[in-house]
Amino acid sequence: MQLKPAIKKNLETFLGEVLKQNTKHNLTGAKTKKDFEFHIEDCVKATILASDALENIVVDYGSGSGLLGVVIKILKPNKEVFLVERNLRKHQFQKFVLTKLGIDGIIPIHDDVANFSLDKKYTACSKAFAPIKKTLLMTKNKENIKNYLFLKKNDANTKRELLEARPLIYDYKMHNYLCQNVKMTVIEVNDH
């Protein structure tokens, strides 16, 4: 994958900090450099593939180490990004790594997804946060969500999640891709 040197440098810095701090703070399930490189590549490919669906404001629900939101911000610097994470340790890491990266326009929020709200339209996105149905139910009263982007493996579990969430979804698209020979998808839900 061809990325500009500045983008690669920021992604490598982020990768290094997550790996270094993960041994102390359990920020992600990815324990090795190779595992976390897969997740970064997954977020890069998904962001590029679904970039037309992103509003000017993007909210990463259950952002953990900040992976998806940070990758979106690095690739799409014109977007305003919020990282919503209820775990204080992970939230503190986000603030630390964002200072180290020197990236503006990305705001870590220490709160529960159910409590978070904005008065402007935004795209809600998540990777490894919660099942689709649970996320939709948790956020059903949020009027300013224009759409959702769910990063998932393209497998039987994801198909089951979609089937379970079907009564809550009016329209969706699947943007399929391969990441290191693993079938992945971005599920774009436009109206719930």
Question: Tell me: the pLDDT tens digits for 60-79?
Answer: 999 999 999 999 999 999 99
Query: For residue 51, is it within any domain?
Result: yes
pLDDT in tens, 154-182: 999 999 999 999 999 989 999 999 999 99
Do the annotations mark residue 62 as ligand-binding? yes
Residue 62 DSSP one-character state: T
Angle between helices 5-25 and 33-49 (to 10 degrees): 130
Query: For residue 154, is it within any domain?
Result: no
Q: Which pLDDT score is estimated for 27?
A: 81
Which of 24-33, 116-125, 173-182 is predicted least confidently? Answer: 24-33
Domain count, the chain: 1
Query: For residue 83, is it within any domain?
Result: yes
pLDDT band at 192 (very low <50, low <70, confident <90, very high): low
Query: For residue 158, is it within any domain?
Result: no
Tokens standing for residue 186: 């971005």
Q: Which pLDDT score is estimated for 182?
A: 97
Do the annotations mark residue 66 as ligand-binding? no
CATH of the domain at 9: 3.40.50.150
Query: For residue 102, is it within any domain?
Result: yes
* For residues 100-106, average pLDDT: 93
Query: For residue 169, is it within any domain?
Result: no
Do the annotations mark residue 153 as ligand-binding? no
| Range of the structural domain that residue 119 is part of | 5-146
Query: For residue 191, is it within any domain?
Result: no
Query: For residue 15, is it within any domain?
Result: yes
